[in-house]
Amino acid sequence: MRCPFCGASDTTVADTRINEDGDIVRRRRRCLSCDKRFSTYERAEIRLPQVVKKNGSRVDFDREKLAASLWLALRKRPVTVEAVEAVIMRIEEKLLTQGEREVPSEKIGEMVMHELKKIDKVAYVRFASVYRSFEDVDEFSDLVKEVSLPGQRRV
């Protein structure tokens, strides 16, 4: 590890600590040339699969794009930032555990719909109406009926 102050490559580790979650290692280092101290952080590099879009092109999985889609569906809904972050983490975890190098965008869309249905039915309907590109009102009405509970007013 090079010293960020003088550029020397001769450093020693003075202290090592692991964060509460156990997924990040913090190392306190000291430069043997200039005697200044600095910290480095280690975390596992996670490689998420490539996303295969409907037109056949491939793009890297983009966590920010996923978050933006969720927040668009959840606009003005009573859902916490923590709940959205948990949804994103669950989707990423599912993608990682599948071990695939590529995943169709449709599969990610289905995962998003599944998660939204659990946390906010209005956001689920919003997302599904755009994602599924309904051709007529009956398809939309069927979706609303699907998420409506018995005894509630139907749209």
Q: What is the pLDDT of residue 140?
A: 64
What is the number of residues in the chain? 155
Q: Where are the domains of the chain?
A: 11-43, 50-147
The contacts of residue 144 (CB under 8 Å, 6+ apart) are: 125, 154, 155
* Residues 97, 135: Cα–Cα separation, whole Å: 35
The CA distances from residue 107 to 32, 59, 63, 95, 124, in Å, are 52, 14, 15, 10, 16
* Residues 83, 68: Cα–Cα separation, whole Å: 14
Tell me the pLDDT tens digit for each residue of 115-146.
999 999 889 888 887 777 666 667 667 777 77
Q: Could you say which residues of the chain have pLDDT below 50?
A: 154-155
Q: What is the pLDDT of residue 35?
A: 96
Q: What is the pLDDT of residue 154?
A: 45
